[in-house]
Amino acid sequence: MRKNVGLKVFTGLVFAFLLVPLLIIIVTSFGTNSTIQFPIKGFTLDWYGKVFSNEAFMDSFFLSLKVAFIATLLALIIGVPAAYSLARHKVFGRNWIKSFFLSPTIVPGLVVGYAMYQFIVIKFQFPIIQGLLLGHFLICLPYVIRVVGSTIEQLDFSIEEVSWTLGCTKLQTFIKVVLPNITSGIFASFMLAFINSFNNIPVSQFLSGPGVTMLPTSLMNYIEYNYDPSVSALSVVLMLGTIVLMFIIEKTLGLASIS
């Protein structure tokens, strides 16, 4: 293979552009300055202590985690059979439904959040936690249906037919043959949906209420009044969490199977 120096330099620049800000955040989280400054003057782990002792951070972190986890799980329970049905049966207006499930990823988050606010909070007056779960469930569902749907479409339909001829009912076939062969799609959609729910600001903002704050909201609230490195420390903790998650997926499935 011919070595292209120009391409190498360009690739290096792109990576630098993407990674240097993250490096700076990591470095600042260890700084002794009282505001976020780079370069740092001294080294300390205090900001990490401050993050873990900050009740508002911890509460909203666990709330975001819980909401994202339960909403993603619900989306899988509803979304996997729905995706199967869309892929295998002649559903009326199938393509229309598929595009519809893509729409939350195209419509601006603010619009989605406002629409949910109108219905979930104003019209039906859901309790806050249930409202948040419903909202995040709706954010997660498209990812499940799209990703799992495309995995099912790649699955040879005749393995299901063969399973029927061997004596499986349609439900048994779904459990014994279809599910084991779409685990990579299920994992991928779980990851995507979970991260999107966890990071989502507009829907969380619109649907939360007194005493219920999601992590992005509490982070933003904090930055508004305090510009200290505990925000950097929290970001590093979240990065670490993501890295661990990615590592587990790489070890069990291989990242290539997701993209």
Least Å distance, CB 170 to other proteins, is 8
Supply the minimum distance, in Å, between the C-beta of residue 175 and other proteins. 12
Closest contact distance (angstroms) between CB of 89 and other proteins is 15
Q: Are 218 and 56 in contact (CB under 8 A)?
A: yes
Q: How far is the CB of 82 from other proteins (least distance, A)?
A: 23
Measured distance CA(68)–CA(136) in Å, rounded: 7
User: Of all helices (H) and strands (E), which one includes residue 87?
Assistant: helix 55-88
Binding mask 162-191 for other proteins (x = CB under 8 A): xxxxxxxx--x----x--xx----------
CB of 131 to other proteins, least distance (A): 39
Shorter beta-carbon distance to other proteins: residue 156 or 224: 156
Q: Which lies closer to other proteins via its Cβ, residue 173 or residue 189?
A: 173
CB 154 → other proteins: shortest distance, Å? Answer: 11
Q: Which is nearer to other proteins, 28 or 173 (CB)?
A: 173
Task: Specify the residue, 20 or 162, whose C-beta has the smaller distance to other proteins.
Answer: 162
Of 111 and 179, which has the nearer Cβ to other proteins? 179
CA nearest neighbour of 75 among 166, 213, 193 = 193
Q: Helix axis angle, 128-154 relative to 55-88, nearest 10°?
A: 40
* Of residues 181 and 199, the one with the C-beta less far from other proteins: 181
How far is 193 from 214, CA to CA, in rounded Å? 16
Site string for other proteins, 130-169 (x = CB under 8 A): --------------------------x-xx-xxxxxxxxx
CA–CA separation, 189 vs 247, rounded Å? 16
Cα–Cα distance between 60 and 233 in angstroms, integer? 16
3-state secondary structure of 169: coil
CB of 169 to other proteins, least distance (A): 6
DSSP H helix total and E strand total for the chain: 13, 0
93 contributes a contact to other proteins by CB under 8 A: no
Q: What is the helix, strand, coil percentage profile of the chain, to 5?
A: 80, 0, 20
Q: Specify the amino acid at residue 84.
A: Y
Footprint of other proteins (CB under 8 A): 156, 158-159, 161-169, 172, 177, 180-181
